[in-house]
Amino acid sequence: MRRQGRVWARRAAAAAWCLAVLTGCGGGGSPAVPAEDAASSGVNTPPPPPSRAVLTALPADGAQDVPPEGPVRVTVAQGRLVSVRLADAKGAEVPGTITEDGAAWTPDGLLPLGTAYALDAVAEDDQGQKAAQHTAFSTVARAHTFVAFFTPEDGSTVGVGMPVSLRFSRPITDRAAVEKAVRVSADPPVPVAAHWFGNQRLDVRPEHYWAAGTRVTVALRLKDVQGAPGEFGTQTKELHFTIGRAQVSTVDLDAHALTVRAGQGGRVVKVLKVSGGSSDHSTYRGVMVVSEKYKVTRMNSQTVGMGDEYDIKDVPHAMRLTASGTFVHGNYWADPGVFGTANTSHGCVGLADAKGGASRDTPAGWLFEHTIPGDVLEVKASRGDFVPPENGLNGWNVPWEQWVAGSALGPSR
């Protein structure tokens, strides 16, 4: 299954990156209809029917330059809204109101300019079956100015693979001036280098994964910096995040196994059975970093150009690996015999799970509880495309010399 979206708009200062989109799975190869999705559950009984509630959110997922007046709203057909949360990257929620009949939600006022938002809505039908919707968008920045949306979040604790990633609200033509105004330092010290992906994204990382316990400071001195003719930065901000325990796992798709490793020596903590992408729809190979986590989310074939082939409203324990929609997630609908024996998915890495995303005892539930954003999965297989480094937080796939060459300031930065 594939789940497409832009990671970076999720947080105004943390995930301009992380625009989560309703998607299906994706990896190397062509997307296709998940025939195995119709397989029986682990007890060989038909799964509960999907929720009949149909959620619609505006603006569209990934929208940029949304006016402060919107339109921003959530509606539901054949059901009632249970909850709606609209929040910026710091977690500050926007007040809003659900109508008395539970059919719609709107914010109570105008939205601030130059801010990235994540919108999460849950509805249920008359049988109590829930449906979830996640979208992300950013409001328009002031004319002739630009801001940087950043990840990870200020004050967060992340895994050893988390880069500093900035997504600019306007195209940057004077990359050297902007890059010079972004300073990243670490304690204990470690050399870092910046790399541009296009004209609106700048990532910074060390040569190797961060050491556990490292404290990272990001100083944005963009105020009055001219990023393009007539476009000036507005931010003066300092951000801090901490590298937590080291967890770098490997996924061997030929052996159908995910091995969780911890600590500097890579001590094996757990080995989990998985099912990766099929021969026609292989999972990406390479280093992939977890950028987002959803206890339950929706995956819809329409978002990957597959029409109305499938629409799974409650995929449990989903963790995003690429912006284009590769996830490691729970799977309650497939024959449990495929995990550890066969690759049958359409690009994602699936683990056995229970419906609802509440269990911590299933393989997917255990992995979800023991994973934080920034943790690394190194996917290995005898076939399949390698993940493009700009597809998600996956710049580790760029060799160090090539990474440094992608800086506008050169190796002396």
Positions annotated as catalytic residues are: 329, 348
Q: What gap in Å lies between CA 263 and CA 247, rounded to an integer?
A: 6
Contact between 196 and 173 under an 8 Å Cβ cutoff? The reply is: no
**Which amino acid, residue 211?**
A
3-class secondary structure for 23-72? Answer: CCECCCCCCCCCHHHHCCCCCCCCCCCCCCCEEEEECCCCEEEECCCCCC
- What does the DSSP assignment read for 89-114? TT-PBPPEEE-TTSSEEEESSPPPSS
**Which amino acid, residue 301?**
S
